[in-house]
């Protein structure tokens, strides 16, 4: 394992340790929650897409470095990874007790419009995508770049269900928020 791979592992492990501790500390009761079975559907879709893609692409290409192994790309990738994960953490802090790993409505749920939620409706996904983009830039491997697109597919699936829950719960208030703030990329989508 290279030094850069070790640094990236430490960054991602630190992020997930924070994430799980935060989830454990900020529990609140659910009003409505996506079933575990439908949560598994995301994983099945992700695995099917990955297997199909891996079969279409030569195995040697998957582990081919397609970005230069230069200090510029490595440092840029590390900075983008940290910025993305930092954005996700900031969103998690603003979401507080309303966060859930699967689409849910908590008791006394509110639409959060502070911090990163002023910029995008799903800043945790934005941050994770940015973090994976940074990781892909730093590593430079084809498989890492493909992972960004796989995450995007899964996040779009989750966004659709989350927004259905939120529209059913908050009606016009959430529809108005959707018109004011883009879903993943400020000013674009």
Q: What is the pLDDT of residues 138-188, one digit of tens each?
A: 999 988 998 898 889 888 988 998 899 899 989 999 999 999 999 998 877
How high is the pLDDT of residue 39?
A: 65
- The region of weakest confidence among 36-40, 103-107, 125-129, 174-178 is 36-40
- Specify if 100 maps to a domain: yes
Closest CA to 42 of 120, 170, 151, 164: 151
User: Can you list the alpha helix ranges (DSSP code H) found in 26-141?
Assistant: 36-56, 59-62, 71-95, 123-139
CATH number (domain holding residue 175): 1.20.120.1630
pLDDT digits (tens, 9 = 90+) for 61-110: 778 899 999 999 999 999 999 999 999 999 999 998 888 877 778 888 89
Q: DSSP letter at 185?
A: S
**What φ, ψ does residue 97 adopt, rounded to 5°?**
-70, -10
175 CB neighbour count, 10 Å cutoff = 13
Q: How are beta strands 30-33 and 104-106 bridged, if at all?
A: antiparallel
How high is the pLDDT of residue 133?
A: 97
Domain count, the chain: 1
How high is the pLDDT of residue 106?
A: 80
- Specify if 2 maps to a domain: no
Whole-structure pTM over 0.85, yes or no? Answer: yes
> Given the structure tokens 């099945």, which residue do they identify?
44
Decide which of 1 and 70 is more confident.
Answer: 70
| Structural domain that includes position 97 | 32-180
- Specify if 23 maps to a domain: no
Averaged pLDDT for residues 27-35: 62
- Specify if 1 maps to a domain: no
């Amino acid at each position: 394992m290279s030094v850069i791979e070790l640094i990236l592992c430490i960054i991602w492990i630190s992020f997930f340790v924070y994430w799980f501790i935060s989830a454990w500390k900020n529990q609140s009761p659910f009003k409505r929650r996506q079933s575990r079975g439908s949560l598994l559907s995301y994983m099945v879709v992700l695995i099917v897409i990955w297997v199909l893609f891996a079969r279409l692409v030569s195995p040697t290409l998957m582990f081919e470095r397609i970005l230069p192994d230069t200090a510029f790309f490595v440092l840029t990738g590390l900075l983008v990874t940290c910025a993305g994960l930092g954005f996700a953490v900031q969103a998690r802090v603003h979401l507080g007790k309303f966060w859930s790993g699967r689409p849910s409505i908590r008791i006394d749920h509110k639409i959060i419009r502070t911090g990163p939620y002023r910029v995008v409706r799903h800043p945790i996904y934005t941050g994770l995508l940015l973090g994976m983009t940074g990781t892909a830039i730093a590593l430079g491997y084809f498989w890492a770049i493909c992972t960004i697109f796989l995450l995007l597919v899964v996040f779009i699936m989750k966004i659709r269900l989350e927004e259905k829950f939120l529209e059913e719960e908050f009606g016009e208030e959430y529809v108005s928020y959707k018109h004011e703030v883009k879903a993943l990329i400020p000013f674009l989508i």
